[in-house]
Amino acid sequence: QMFCVPTVYLDRDVMGRDPGHGVTINSLLLRPKATGRVTLRDAHPASLPVIDTQIFGHPDDLARTLAGFHFARGMIAASPIADMIEQEIFPGAEVTGDEAIAAHCKRMVKTGYHPVGTCRMGHEQDPMAVVTADLRVRGLGKLRVVDASVMPNIISGNTNAAVMAVAHRAADLIAGRERVVEETRCVEVLS
């Protein structure tokens, strides 16, 4: 997914340039192959969890990120955008080799803020699933999880619509409403 921001967009950890006129293009890997982990730090309920995102934990993720970077750089170099660009700020036009670009990507990588799957929903035979189809935590019948953490896989895009669908279904389950789904039959017409 390509993000285009019509300004020089800088995160807090990037110094040396004031935000201003310009354009920022970022590529976001929608389906990373690496899988992270969230674990408890200790037994204290106020302690923050340990989050290991495993960003670039799979070599394909870095390769696909490099491809996204090259695509973004190619867009900026193409007319008519190229006519409006004075200079490349980050990482700079002098950074050309994949090793140097990979170092830049590793420094600037972000999650897209849509992690999922920490309380995976799935069948009883799935050893990674801790939530049932009715959103109950296995072994704790009165506790449900209703957020993006139940999604077994990340979707291609923002998770807000999928989370709203999960919440809508959870409301029906909690209220005891049965939803009737009509079966649709498809008929193939041979000519």
In the chain (191 residues long), the average pLDDT of successive 10-residue segments reads 82 64 84 87 95 92 95 93 88 93 88 82 93 94 92 86 94 84 56 46
pLDDT of the residue at 154: 84
Report the DSSP beta bridge partners of residue 3: 26
17 in Cβ contact with 8 (< 8 Å): yes
Residues that are catalytic: 114
pLDDT of the residue at 38: 85
64 in Cβ contact with 102 (< 8 Å): no
107 in Cβ contact with 75 (< 8 Å): no
Q: Output the DSSP codes for 68-129.
A: HHHHHHHHHHSTTGGGG----TTTTTT--SHHHHHHHHHHH----S----TT-B--TT-TT-
pLDDT of the residue at 191: 46
In degrees rounded to 5, what are phi and psi of residue 144? Answer: -120, 155
pLDDT of the residue at 120: 92
27 in Cβ contact with 68 (< 8 Å): yes
pTM score over 0.75: no
55 contacts: CB under 8 Å, gap ≥ 6: 32, 34, 36, 61, 109, 111
